[in-house]
Amino acid sequence: MIKNIISGIKAYFGAFSLISKLKLWKYFTIPMLISVITAVVIFGSAYGLSDNIGHFIAKIWIWDWGKDAFTSISNFIGGLFIIVIGLILFKHIIMALSAPFMSPVSEKIEAHLLNNHNKIHRNTTFQEQLWRGIRFNLRNLTMELLLTIPILILGFIPVIGIISSVLLFLTQAYYAGAGNMDYTLERHFKYKESLIFVRQNRGIAIGNGIVFMLFLLIPIIGVILVLPLSVTAATVKTVHALPLNNKPDAA
């Protein structure tokens, strides 16, 4: 799996040039706008809510001694909780709403990689692509939250806390990569078949998602470029992994 993770990361190196070569930037205008608006709404709300959650947690401490220290810790916990949940919501919202715009881009990249521009795929409408994106990401959002909450709790246990941070990051990376891969998979597989394919190629999903999550740490630019580059990189590796296609040259 380590090899596939590295492969998923390396796919980003040629993403920018591939987008420019195929003149795909125009297709990313609306998804980039969705990313910016979603980021402003979610993280703006998160900033205001973090103190409220912190004060709520601080009420647990009923003693006067150590009250200030516990309040500070509670504010940190509240901020951390909001950031993590905000990141989870952000990536699933933008991937779900961008599905109708990303699927055609993915198809153009696949046609280029396979050198077959007349390849027949399952025909899906704008509404079907949007519903598929919402359904796929809603399922992933639910699963990710179910895994994230216990991981966050484990994070407050000494020593284990370090491991939980890694697990939390890899969990977010996996589901981000899975969402990016599905823009290609929706043309080839039904919903449940796509879930199986992603699990079988979880290394590619994690590798793609690692860079996706790191991009979100870059102010403004990261939010704008994260979808174009991550979707392009995911498409290249997903097409390469599809059993029904000849192995394309990813260069």
**pLDDT tens for residues 12-36?**
999 999 999 999 999 999 999 999 9
Categorize the per-residue pLDDT at 248 as very low, low, confident or very high, splitting at 50, 70 and 90: very low
Q: What is the rounded distance in angstroms from the CA atom of residue 182 to the CA atom of residue 119?
A: 18
Domain boundaries, the chain: 2-112+132-241
Categorize the per-residue pLDDT at 198 as very low, low, confident or very high, splitting at 50, 70 and 90: very high
* Percent share of the chain, pLDDT over 70: 79
**pLDDT tens for residues 39-84?**
888 777 766 666 666 666 666 666 666 666 766 666 667 677 777 7
**pLDDT tens for residues 212-243?**
999 988 888 888 999 999 999 999 999 999 98
